[in-house]
Amino acid sequence: MTREEPILRLRGVSRRHGQGATAVTALRDVDLDLVRGEFVALMGTSGAGKSTLLHLVAGLDQPDSGSILLSGQDMARMGEEERTFFRRQQIGLIFQSFQLLEMLTAEENVALPLVIAGGKLADCQQRARELLDEVGLGARRQHRPHQLSGGEQQRVAIARALVIRPALLLADEPTGNLDSAQGARILALLRQLVDQHRQTLLLVTHDPVLASHADRIIILQDGKLQDGGKQDGTIMGSRIGNPYHVALSSGIAG
């Protein structure tokens, strides 16, 4: 059986911050492949380089060396303007802080990336409604962020990230501002998107419970990637309990 070509491929990626004696090497010759429909969790201690790697994969920064190929295009060779245009077409971003615009409704927040890209307003609105229905917020599409719970706001943010039909979805601690029940629903939604739509997801987290639901776990330590493994609920040899299992079984409603 022929192995599927990676949707994302990093080769020899290195990044240093600062100059001279105070320079810090955040990433050292990192190699990474993600195939379509794969849910990968990236873990590591504070300062391990997770944010640096995420920014590089998101096209928000450039490596000092190496290549970052997404859908066959090397972002490391693009100029800033080209990277920005490419990111808006290929990458969906989900943040811990939601980053919704307060003056816009849920529907308008979701449609905004398509409107910025020059889409027809009616088409943008229709696509936004479809996604809000999918994440369980169709009835609240005219609500503004302050009228929604934290979990609902994050579901709007997920719909917004998906509106462009991205090749890659990046999530940075997406449940960090939520309680355990809301976090479980967001995790269930992300898992559903991967399973039903073959959405490729790279999730950055410090939480081993969240990571345990990924297809694969990678650990960043001292700027180098290690295979974290994932067998029988263990990560790097440590048993992981799952307090989310009850909430997960109830799906994403609520």
Domain chopping of the chain, boundaries = 8-99+168-249
What does 176-229 look like in DSSP terms, one character per residue? TTS-HHHHHHHHHHHHHHHHHH---EEEE-S-HHHHTTSSEEEEEETTEEEE--
**pLDDT at position 6, please?**
93
**pLDDT at position 247, please?**
32
**Is 43 within 8 Å of 228 (Cβ atoms)?**
yes
Q: Say what the pTM is.
A: 0.85
Q: What is the pLDDT of residues 87-125, one digit of tens each?
A: 999 999 998 888 999 999 999 999 999 999 899 999 999
**pLDDT at position 49, please?**
86
Class of the CATH domain delimited by 8-99+168-249: alpha beta
**pLDDT at position 230, please?**
58
In this prediction, the residues of the chain whose per-residue pLDDT falls under 70 are: 1-3, 228-254
Q: What is the pLDDT of residues 25-55, one digit of tens each?
A: 899 999 999 999 999 999 988 778 888 999 9
